[in-house]
Amino acid sequence: MLKQIALVFFTIVGFTTASQAQFNLAHEIGVIFGPVTFQSDYGERNNFDNNIGNNGFGIGVVHFLNFSSNANRDYYFNEHFKLRSELSFNKVNLQHFGKWVEHDPEALDTQQLKAMNGKTTLLNIGTQVEFFPFIKIHDFENTIGSFNPYISVGIMASFYNTEVSSSIGQMGDPAITYPKYLPPSDGRQNGFSSESGVAVSGTLGAGVHYKLNEMNDLMFEVRYQGFASDWIDGLNPNKNLYKENKSNDSQVWFNFGYVYYLEF
């Protein structure tokens, strides 16, 4: 996994260096942090308690390539787009919520679901494009106290580690494990798995930068991240038997940030 992380990192660095050679660029660095909600095979999809309960926290470092230097002005791309590289870490605790853990407290299957829990950690490395449709980047930079909304799209390599357990015994035992997670699934012995791996993920976000002063911005962003895997949470019931679990895992990150301009 360390080799994979290094490969992705040096690919991003190489792209940044090549871009620097082609354009007169400015650089910005920052930190982001905030709560994460996870949508997965834990709990009932689209259930409010599930969306609120299966949550965690994220933190990351970001780097921006700013094309809007004095030498590159008056080109639409340079004045409305930034390229953002990111290294971030997320951790989420997971359990079941919804009607299936509430309908019959004395039933064995209800007790099995209530006893299940998991945790997932993610290391994300990737890049995003931020598009500022309303205000030119130069105009924003020269107006202290201004806001500049944006939308973003990107791609990540997500290195995950997930653990699945039960408070009443060993997962895999039919007396302990909810029947849905016992049949083999997607090359695993069961529909659950404590494992580490890597998955591609795509991001789609919306946010705003606030001009604090000449060299500093604040930012807020809401970002959806969808994974090309259904094992990020450690659960993936056999989709041929359980059609309701067709969606891959995803998360929504509400992050706040601070950005410092290395050059202006």
Task: Report the chain (264 residues): mean pLDDT per 10 consecutive residues.
Answer: 48 47 73 94 74 89 84 74 95 88 82 93 96 91 93 96 94 93 93 95 97 94 96 92 84 96 73
* Torsion on CA atoms 109, 112, 113, 116, rounded to nearest 10: -170
- The answer to whether 129 and 150 have CB atoms below 8 angstroms apart is no
Q: What is the pLDDT of residue 21?
A: 42
Multiple choice CATH, 30-261, 2.40.50.140, 1.10.760.10, 2.40.160.20, 3.20.20.100: 2.40.160.20
Q: What is the pLDDT of residue 106?
A: 79
Q: How many other C-beta atoms can be found within 10 angstroms of the C-beta atom of residue 210?
A: 16
Rg (CA), the chain: 22
- The answer to whether 157 and 126 have CB atoms below 8 angstroms apart is yes
Q: How many other C-beta atoms can be found within 10 angstroms of the C-beta atom of residue 153?
A: 12
Q: How far apart are CA 209 and CA 150, in angstroms?
A: 8
What predicted TM-score, i.e. pTM, was given to this entire model? 0.85
